[in-house]
Every structure is written in C-alpha cells, then in structure tokens.
Chain A
C-alpha cells in the first residue's frame, strides 16, 4: 500500500476515487452537506437515523449512512483527512488552537468546557510526553449519538484526534470505548488499521515531522468511567475510580503526563471547523453555545431516533417539528435531558432554548445528549426513583456522600413509590441532595440528586399525592394501583389469562374474565397484551378495591 505523503497527493487520490465512483454509481461527491446529499434509500431502512427533519443541520452526522464506515476511500472522497493534511502543512499548533477558539466549540461530553482552552492548558504544561484521549464511554441510558458516529464515520473522530494531538503536542492517543458497543469497537479497530496502512497514523504523517498513533481500549461496564479521572485510571488498568481534581488531567493525566480528554462528538466537529472555517461554525448557535448538537430523541414522541440541531433551538421545535409530536396525541409532561445526572424540564418550559447555560439554569444540563420525552402517563416520582437506582448501582463507592447518599435517597424514593412515604420525606430528600451536590468527589455524585431536585421543584404536587393521599396520579406506581377487567369490553379471548405470569386471571372462554386481586402483582402484562382495551388501571391499593368498584 502506498503511503500518502502530502496534501496534494491526498487531493489527487480523492479525485481518483470520485472518478472511479462516478463510473460505478451516481454518487454525490459535492463539498456541501445538507438534506440533498442523503440517499433516501439507505435512510428508509435505518430506524435510528432518518433524513433530516425540521430545523436539523448535520455536521457531526453528515457522513453517517452516507459512506461505508469500513472504507477509508469513502471518507477520503468526502474530503476526509484534508483538514489534518492542511493543518500539518500550513499551520502551527498555536494557530490550530486559535482557530478552534474562534469557532467557540465547547466540550460535547456535557460540561461544555471550551475545547480550545483545554488544549491550550495541556499544550502549555511542561513535559515531552503528552496524551490525547477520546472519551467514547457513552453510558447515559437513552443516549446513543456517539455510538452512531463511531459506527458510521469512525475516521472523522480519528482525524479530529490527530489534529488535537498536533495542537497539544501528543504522540499517543487512546480511544476508550465502552464494552456495550461491540460493533463500534470493531469498526474503530478496522479504521485505525486502515489509517496506519495509508500512513495517516504512524510516523511522519503526510511527510511532516509529526508522529501520532492511536490505540483502542475497552471499558468493562462501569458507568463512572465516563468521568475523566476514572477513565484514566481504567486505561491504566486499575479500578475505574475518580480522584480529586486538581490536579486536572491537563496537568497530570494518564501516567501522570499532561492529557486532554475530549468527547467523540467534539473530535468529529474538528475537521469540519478547520475545512469550512471557524466563522461558519460560530454562525450557528447562540452567543455562548456555538455549532450543532446531536441528541438521541427517545420516549413518547412519534419520531424517535438520532437528530442534530443547531444550539439555541427551542425544546418545542425539537419535540413538535423534529420529533413530530407526542405519540397518540397525548399531552407532554416533561423532557428529561442530561441522563442520570440531568433533570426533568416540565412542559410549561417548552419554549426554553437548548444551550449549555439555559439548560443548567432550568435545573437540568446538556449532558452528552440523551433526550427523553415523557407524556402525561409518566410518574415523575418513579422516574426520579429509576435514575436514583441507576446512580446507586453505578456509584463507585469511593466517596461517602455519593455511596451513602444515593442509597439513602433511593430508600426514601422506594418508600414513597410503595405508598409508605411519610411527612418530611421531601425535605429529607432536599437535604441529602444538598450534601451530595457539595461534597461528592466527582460529577456522578454531584449530579445524582439532579433528577430528584428537578422533579421536586416542578412536580412537588405529585410527590405530595404519593405521600399524603397514597395516590399515583399517573397510575404507574404498582403499590398504588390495581387492574380490573371491563366486563363489557372483554371478549373472553383468554389471551390475558395465558400471559399472566402469576395465574391471577380466570374465566371461561368467550365470557368476561376476572382478576384475582390477592394474586395479582400489578405487572401490567395483561394491560399491554389485551387487544380489546378491556383492562383498566384504577387508583388505590388492592385492599381498597371495594371502595372504587
């Protein structure tokens, strides 16, 4: 395989590839991106990534589904690695950092730290050995943007990393990918190998004196490893526990050397900023939040999947234009952003702008980009409990506020959901939240109370209904509801009886069935499987059946 040694050679190669492709298929080699570039056929079969809708702009996702992720030629035909070649031939590292600073790009992992600033800090720290790390440990439940980028356009991330490495003066890079993404891991390993074959990674890249290599490291199912110091520990082969900062990784990171850790999406933006210019990037978004952001839109919207929107868009536009409204025309209740460390934004704040500052002010956060839309049938206490269960499981246990705090809060939330809440529970939750926020070691513990704080703030009445009236307004909490069969609608098809895991449903064929409330465990399978909508959820504990019928 011939190695590419200059920008000119790369452009020649691109022309050859496009020429070859033109003969093969009527592909679209243009230099712009936008809806017209998306092949409708491929997208039709993709359940996660549709053709752009509403106000979507694709920058990070521009190549996904459009190119073959296993083919470096495909990436080169879409201007791939030209940004790297340009930078190496024409710019000093300081100029690269300056360009990124002008673009206003901020970390896409969630905290929103200016990328250029991070690089500058790492560059300015003394030391000959420095590292660049790509954080691909996307653990938030409900978020899969990074997976799609890694699976669909791995080279854009590698190119971004190489440019970053040049800027900070690193010779070695690591991609830390979570083990739950086997396809992304395979794609990346293949992509790294290809880039090495072409001489795009390795020694003297594009004929310059810049040498850089990338190695892939796999996680093993620990959510906390998304935290930068824990991630570093994990790459070092240790338990993935965070450590106090400072010193920040920019000073003392991997093996004690200056290290810059950036998110997959941050890296994927870099080549585009270099090629198209920082002014173009800065023209999108708000004053402080520039560019676009990918979100994994999930939950009760008609159109779930991956989206990429300019920052500054309102939640209303995302839910109703891009997501095409709520399923079954139900009412919107809340939007959860930021994963388990984020918060719930109530429907009343739907005109909120999506940018780092606005989301934080609303009690949530940008996070890596999970966005779960919840309709009126969602119990907010149950959601808070769900996230607390997650953080309790994933708390690494190193610091006490997080280890004990998540456990205590979960116990209270469990009690409330079981109808055993007592007066003072809400206040106790608030007190514990404060302690955890201030005293926890890392972002996991500091952010863990957010779902509880935001739901108490916006849905306090629902907590009170659970505690004082023993009533779950959304009819979700098992201990506070019971199921009954509507006699007039039941056709006696026996389907529910067959599916009931505890055998609580009885009745003759073609005659209305009945649920034995003593046996019923409120699992809801009958409600889900009934084809005639003959099962209803009624409020109140099982013992109260007499009062409600």
Chain B
C-alpha cells in the first residue's frame, strides 16, 4: 500500500527523475533516506515547505539544486518557488558548509564591541574571507545576525557553542581548539 502511494506521489518514471537520483547527494542511500523521511512526515502539513527546508538544512547541511528539484517533484511545487524560498532566507545554503562553523555576531552591541577586529584576526589566521570555507573543508567563517547575547558582547559562536567577551587574542586558541580534533584522528 505504502509502495503504491509513494509511486503515485512520485509519479516520476520520467528520465529526468532517473538523472536526478544519480546526482549527489541523492545518490547516497543515507541522504536519500533522511530526505525521504522528512518529506514523508511534513508533506501534508499546511505550509510545510518551510518546515521541510528547515529540517533538510539542519540534517543534510545544505539544500542544493538537485535537492530542490527533488522536493519540487515530490511536493508538486514548481522548482522556481522552492528556489525563491531557499534564496530568501539567510539560514538556507545551497553549498555544503565546512565541518565547523565560526559565526561572528554582527548585532549592535557586538559590532560596537569589536566584532570587525575579531573577523580580521580570524581571516588572517585561516587565510580566507568571511563567508568562505577553508580549502580543507574544516572551517567556515560566517557573519550572523544578533544571537541575543548582547550583554556578553562581542560574541563568537563556534558550531552551537557560544563564546562571550572575546578579545582578538582569543581567536588563535579558539581556532587551535577546533583544529585539534583533526590532529587526533
């Protein structure tokens, strides 16, 4: 029964679907399973597109063009609509991020408290621009909107861990700490 209903919804024995399923990350069994599970749970929720995109972003890490086309085929929504939503919200990315993300808070208190200096320091050490990922795919540097910890400004968020009252001299040890995980393995 479930098989049949999925065939109906997918309705995509077209050659393009075959090509689509060969593309990364849809050709990875693991990723396909995650995406299918998300789609199945939320496709009938009213206004579910945002929920689906949020889930895919957090579990897969990005919403690339093939993923968008796949969602489009399953939800029967034009891919242009999906791309429109994905490009509108800054939390959705189309490219994979690095393993770790350093976010620099650009809220008012942090900006006045010296976030720009922290960014310069990190850019110097990592040799990348803010918004980019290191060539080894370890660290992504990003600017983010106020994280609401203004009383601890300036604030840096490494993955989900928040660091407050950061001085420029604290940036090198912070990055060393992240890189340590790679040395061990």
A residues engaging B (CB < 8 A)? 47-48, 138-144, 147, 179-182, 217-223, 234-241, 255, 296-299, 304-306, 336, 370, 372, 374, 378, 386-387, 390, 396, 499, 501-502, 521, 523-525, 528-529
Contacts and interface: CB of A to CB of B under 8 A. Distances in A.
Which of A218, A305, A336 is the most central at the interface, judged by chain B CB atoms within 10 Å of its CB? A218
A298 B153 contact: yes
Interface stretch (B4-12, B14-22, B43-51): B43-51
A139 B48 CA distance: 23
A431 to B, nearest CB: 26
A492 B116 CA distance: 26
Contact of B114 (A236, A238, A524): A524
Given A221-B145, A378-B112, 17 more contacts: A48-B151, A142-B107, A142-B150, A180-B146, A180-B147, A180-B148, A217-B47, A220-B53, A237-B50, A296-B151, A298-B109, A299-B109, A372-B108, A372-B112, A499-B121, A523-B116, A524-B117
B138 interface: no
A481 to B, nearest CB: 14
Given A218-B50, A239-B84, A47 B145 contact: no
B109 A238 contact: no
Interface string B29-44: 0000000000000000
B146 A528 contact: no
B121 A143 contact: no
Contact of B47 (A48, A235, A396, A529): A235
B146 A386 contact: no
Interface stretch (B88-96, B129-137, B176-184): B88-96
B109 A220 contact: no
A298 B49 contact: no
Interface residues of B, number: 44
B107 A141 contact: yes
B3 interface: no
B142 to A, nearest CB: 11
B78 interface: no
B39 to A, nearest CB: 13
Contact of A305 (B50, B124, B144, B151): B151
Interface string B147-170: 111111100000010001001110
Given A139-B145, A180-B144, A501-B124, A218 B54 contact: yes
A57 B177 CA distance: 43
A378 B108 CA distance: 12
B91 A179 contact: yes
- The secondary-structure label for the interface of chain B is helix
B149 A141 contact: no
Contacts of B144: 180
B112 A220 contact: no
Contact of A529 (B50, B149, B151, B167): B167
Interface of B: 46-51, 53-54, 57, 84-85, 88-92, 106-109, 111-112, 114, 116-117, 120-121, 123-124, 144-153, 160, 164, 167-169
17 contacts: A140-B146, A141-B107, A141-B109, A143-B146, A180-B145, A180-B146, A182-B160, A219-B89, A219-B91, A220-B53, A234-B50, A239-B85, A240-B89, A299-B109, A370-B150, A374-B112, A499-B121
B54 A499 contact: no
Contacts of A237: 47-51, 85
A142 B117 contact: no
A493 B87 CA distance: 49
B47 to A, nearest CB: 4
B105 to A, nearest CB: 9
A90 B169 CA distance: 62
B85 to A, nearest CB: 6
B54 A525 contact: no
Contact of B108 (A236, A305, A370, A501): A370
B46 to A, nearest CB: 7
A297 B46 CA distance: 39
A399 to B, nearest CB: 15
A284 B53 CA distance: 44
B47 A296 contact: no
A220 B50 contact: yes
B47 A236 contact: yes
Contact of B123 (A255, A370, A501): A501
B50 A386 contact: no
Contacts of A298: 108-109, 150-151, 153
Contacts of A241: 88
